[in-house]
Structure 1
């Protein structure tokens, strides 16, 4: 017996565990394929660490589900990936992708942990956070050593303390615009980087999807990512800041199916849902009105694309319903 035997999981804990399980099983499929093709030894070690971490988490998540008498989600399995399919992405892309897994993990687990009360679940998410931190640091070290890390723009160090005294600081519609703050630059750069990486991923998906409808959907997603990257690059250019160039997100010309359409659609949905969250944070960190307006406009485009994707997934029976509150009217016979 343990101290939490009589304490049921809260809705927040259920939600976090369900989401983590779906995400981890998806990652196992993608990383297993990458591991079968990656050639660089350092990158291979990083992929292997990410894969083993995800496999360890899945075992723990399944043990929690069993102990609680909760049905284990279907999520994803080896049926959703063909690890023997030809190479679709370069080693450099794979390394950046794995680094982004670390970033996404840091965001997910720092959200999950504060909403968790039960000690064993807190301990689990604490270990998850530790693994995500290690993966991120490991991947960044490799990117730096190989000269592949993409740094945000440099700006001069401040030499004096300044306070804002004019409303012009909030302007951005017409007339002369103030230079971007370091916070605004950071958000613009990271959103540009994530969209460029995502666009490359969806380009590969568009070449290898089974369904013509989904190939077109992936093409549209890749184009949206390119468009959003161009918007962010323009803001940097207008402040005379260098726009990072990404030439190593290489996609091969292979057209042989790698992942199931279900997995690719779910992966795309997760990317764009995360993107909406990042845009929301960017609005909060951007004082210039033109930046806030741009993020708001792009969020609408992301929302429309995500809604269309959700319709496709529902029509194909690919949306697994997360744990939900009971419908009291149905229970009452209403």
Structure 2
């Protein structure tokens, strides 16, 4: 196997490392606050474990950056971007659901990072991240099940035999009779409902503690968009006599005290928007019924505009750290 320090990092590898560092500094701020507030001992143990994983990842990433003499990203700071002594903003149940949602998202991200990693030390790092996260996610699911908080997706009847699609109306959905939902459509509608419901709770809390009026209004706009989206997904499930997941609005307290920096909350929000665009694209590809696909197209366009407004706020305030970029050849020639 190749020696890690003899091969230059590829654009994919340095981008994966850079993004992971930013994400881990951000998530560490959340965990530091959670640890001072959480009361349930079992949830607290999981939060502590997650915080230790993030800190370990940052140590490894720092070592790789230093070995490459690559500037370490600024990211987020435990002393600047979180007030660990702030009053409770979310319930313990929210913290557990946060660990569940964040772990699922991170697992997908690490899988992508591993697939583009070639150099031995980078491949080893992301492989270890996945291994740790698989075990951690299992612990989170088990605690959710133990507390009766895990929301299972709907069950499907066992067919009598295999069958094949015989009519073109399998794809239709705008007019006339609509066929029942297939498993992939149900799964994606269900998880997209849950993600938006969780987004409502997260952004509702963020909007209450934002310091800037502009940021507060932007975050509250996100609450309204997420509510609209889970209403759309919930309506389709109801039309097909399928259960609709619960929401987490009640897990947010009335605190308005400074808890997280506006920079950190804007980062989380714009990251969630970017993830939603990716999730909707995948869901659209996995939804043969045309009316469902059209809904994903329409909702994606809405959050893409929201994302642009968020990016403009971050740029205006100097909060958007520049990711690794190719050299500007035109600028080099001018110099």
**Common topology (TM > 0.5):** yes
List per-residue Cα deviations over 1:231-287 (Å, max 9, x = no partner). 000000011111122357510000001000000000001111011110011011100
Note the residue ranges of structure 1 that are not aligned, 5 or more in a row. Answer: none
- Which residue matches 1:187? 188
Q: Distance in 2 between matches of 1:175 and 1:138?
A: 46
Contact 1:197 1:249 (8 Å CA) reproduced: no
The yes-or-no answer on 1:135 pairing with 2:136 is: yes
Q: Distance in 2 between matches of 1:86 and 1:139?
A: 25
SS of residue matched to 1:93: helix
Q: Distance in 2 between matches of 1:166 and 1:249?
A: 45
Q: How does 1:100-119 map to 2 (within 5 A)?
A: 100-119=101-120
Give the C-alpha shift of residue 5 in structure 1. 2.0
Contact 2:47 2:99 (8 Å CA) reproduced: yes
List per-residue Cα deviations over 1:266-321 (Å, max 9, x = no partner). 00011110111100110111000001000000000110000000000000011100
- Which residue matches 1:281? 282
Q: Distance in 1 between matches of 2:28 and 2:45?
A: 15
Contact 1:100 1:136 (8 Å CA) reproduced: no
- Which residue matches 2:262? 261
- Which residue matches 2:253? 252
The yes-or-no answer on 1:14 pairing with 2:14 is: yes
Q: How does 1:10-49 map to 2 (within 5 A)?
A: 10-49=10-49
User: What TM-score results when the alignment is normalised by the length of structure 2?
Assistant: 0.98
Contact 1:93 1:249 (8 Å CA) reproduced: no
Contact 1:80 1:259 (8 Å CA) reproduced: yes
Q: Which runs of 4+ in 1 moved over 6 A?
A: none
Q: How does 1:98-247 map to 2 (within 5 A)?
A: 98-247=99-248
- Which residue matches 2:60? 60
C-alpha change, 1:248 and 1:205, in structure 2 (3 Å) is closer
The yes-or-no answer on 1:290 pairing with 2:291 is: yes
Q: Distance in 2 between matches of 1:188 and 1:249?
A: 22
Q: Distance in 2 between matches of 1:212 and 1:65?
A: 37
Q: Distance in 2 between matches of 1:248 and 1:293?
A: 28
- Which residue matches 1:271? 272
Note the residue ranges of structure 2 that are not aligned, 5 or more in a row. Answer: none
Contact 2:201 2:248 (8 Å CA) reproduced: no
User: What TM-score results when the alignment is normalised by the length of structure 1?
Assistant: 0.98
Q: Distance in 2 between matches of 1:235 and 1:164?
A: 22
Contact 2:192 2:233 (8 Å CA) reproduced: yes
C-alpha change, 1:238 and 1:287, in structure 2 (3 Å) is same
Q: Distance in 1 between matches of 2:216 and 2:50?
A: 28
Instruction: State the superposition RMSD in angstroms.
Output: 1.1
Q: How does 1:315-334 map to 2 (within 5 A)?
A: 315-333=316-334
C-alpha change, 1:247 and 1:68, in structure 2 (3 Å) is closer
Contact 1:153 1:243 (8 Å CA) reproduced: no
Contact 1:65 1:72 (8 Å CA) reproduced: yes
Give the C-alpha shift of residue 121 in structure 1. 0.5
